Amino acid sequence: MDVIEMTQAKVCFIGAGNMTRSIISGLVKHGYPSALIHATNPSQGKLDALQQDFSIEVSNDNAAAAQAADVIVLSVKPQLMEAVCNALSHLNLADKLIITIAAGIPAARYQEYFKQPITLIRTMPNTPTQIGYGMTGIYAEDNISAEHKAICETLMQSGGNVVWVDSEEGLNQVIALSGSSPAYFFLFIESMIASGVKMGMPEDKARLLAEQAALGAAQMVIQNQQLSLEQLRTNVMSKGGTTAKAVETFQQGDLGGLVDKAMNNCVARAQEMAKMF
């Protein structure tokens, strides 16, 4: 369903960084009215760029923007969240839906930060939201209404796909699987390009070859749900051929173990952050 049919809420983003830009881009592309979107930031540069690109309202006054909004999206770094929320705690937030995209901070903390009961939904998006290929995990506590859940889902869906999880630990797993994981793939492609260049391939061609292979592989996975990943992989591997040699090298280096370790460290960091806040 189109975003406009679902909601006409005034949405205010507190913090106009990478993720806010990604989400706003998705919203505007889906026809969400620019006039209903507001972003705040202390520095003017990012605000000017957002205003120019998306014709949204911008300011550096968090309180005025939050006061005027129906939905407040908290998009600052976790370390700044407490101070940013404290500075809004004099407002009456009873009728607002507050959505946070911050990693690590447990839902219960926000009530303390705002010093009043609030309606809060935790989400974990990722940067591909900017181009409509985002993935967002959403967690809401039992007291959140179906209407508020629908508004949040609609907003986040404008940038791609969403999954609901039923615990905050589930959200930590979302961080490892999709919130942080675009960076894993970027690193992999970056490493492939570097290797291609070392072999003598011009960088632009190495990038084109690697990125198109990544795109094709992702689409193969998506469009062949009936096939296992192992099957897709073995379809590329001729017996005694080149792919088998490369895959064998990854397996000897325990790629699976390394990925497992990286993802567990990602979750562990989210758990560690939850104790810090």
Q: List interacting residues with ligand NAI (CB under 6 A).
A: 14-20, 40-43, 46, 62, 75-78, 80, 84, 101-103, 124-127, 179
CB of residue 257 to ligand A1CAB, shortest distance in Å: 22
Q: Does 156 bind ligand A1CAB (CB under 6 A)?
A: no
CB of residue 129 to ligand NAI, shortest distance in Å: 8
Q: Which is nearer to ligand A1CAB, 36 or 125 (CB)?
A: 125
Q: Which is nearer to ligand A1CAB, 119 or 180 (CB)?
A: 180
Residue 46 interacting entry, from ligand NAI, ligand A1CAB, none, C-beta within 5 to 8 Å by type: ligand NAI
Q: Site size for ligand A1CAB, by CB under 6 A?
A: 4
CA 105, 108, 109 angle in degrees (round to 5)?
A: 55
Q: Does 181 bind ligand A1CAB (CB under 6 A)?
A: no
Q: Which is nearer to ligand A1CAB, 73 or 103 (CB)?
A: 103
Q: Does 178 bind ligand A1CAB (CB under 6 A)?
A: no
CB 52 within 8 A of CB 160: no
Joined tokens for residue 125: 């998006």
With CA atoms as reference, report the closest residue to 120 among 151, 146, 99: 99
Find the part of the chain contacting ligand A1CAB (CB under 6 A) among 89-97, 144-152, 175-183, 219-227: 175-183
Q: Does 23 bind ligand A1CAB (CB under 6 A)?
A: no
Number of Cβ atoms within 10 Å of the Cβ of 65: 21
CB of residue 63 to ligand NAI, shortest distance in Å: 10
Q: Does 179 bind ligand A1CAB (CB under 6 A)?
A: yes
d(CA 150, CA 154): 6
d(CA 255, CA 10): 46
Q: Does 180 bind ligand A1CAB (CB under 6 A)?
A: yes
Q: Which is nearer to ligand NAI, 15 or 159 (CB)?
A: 15
Q: Which is nearer to ligand A1CAB, 100 or 180 (CB)?
A: 180
Using alpha carbons, list the distances in angstroms from residue 148 to 45, 90, 152: 32, 23, 6
Contacting positions for ligand A1CAB (CB under 6 A): 103, 175, 179-180
